Amino acid sequence: MKEPQASREMTRAEVIGLLRRHGITPTQQRVEIGRVLFARTQHVSAEDVLARVGDQGSPVSKATVYNTLGLFADKGLLREVVVDPTRRFYDTNLEPHHHIYYTDTGELQDIVIDGLRLGHVPQLPEDAEVEGVDVIIRARRQPNR
């Protein structure tokens, strides 16, 4: 079930409803993390979320943030985007799309799915089926442009 992504700050009640619709118990920490995440379409790291929640006067532990992000991803509220073994983003845009990762700035940017064409998907084992294809283009900004 896809939920429309907010373009404004969600109220506590709206976040609680969203979490309940996805089978998530709405603890205070989860609600505060949800308010940070679902205010707009964005790419955030766990560290970004930890800082933003703390800035709003609701300190949470690093473990709580990581566990909550994992739970939200498992329940379909976020997409987890692993750009390299040391860098992971959480994407609130649930529509099919791909990404450009700028290695020099650490920025992750959406690419509209129509902007990329794939020839074909390699043949999978008989007991597997394609769930989706995620493409991450790694780029570096050119100086003086």
Report the alpha-carbon angle 138-70-87, nearest 5: 25
pLDDT in tens, 82-96: 998 889 999 999 988
> Does one domain contain both 67 and 104?
no
- Of 75, 105, 101, 103, nearest to 89 (Cα)? 101
- Give the domain CATH number at 53: 1.10.10.10
Q: Could you tell me if residue 7 is inside a domain?
A: no
> Does one domain contain both 61 and 19?
yes
**Among residues of the chain, what percentage have pLDDT more than 90?**
65
Reported as a pLDDT band with limits 50, 70 and 90, residue 1 is: very low
Query: What range does the domain containing 109 cover?
Result: 95-139
Q: Considering the entire predicted model, what is its pTM? A: 0.84
Q: Could you tell me if residue 144 is inside a domain?
A: no
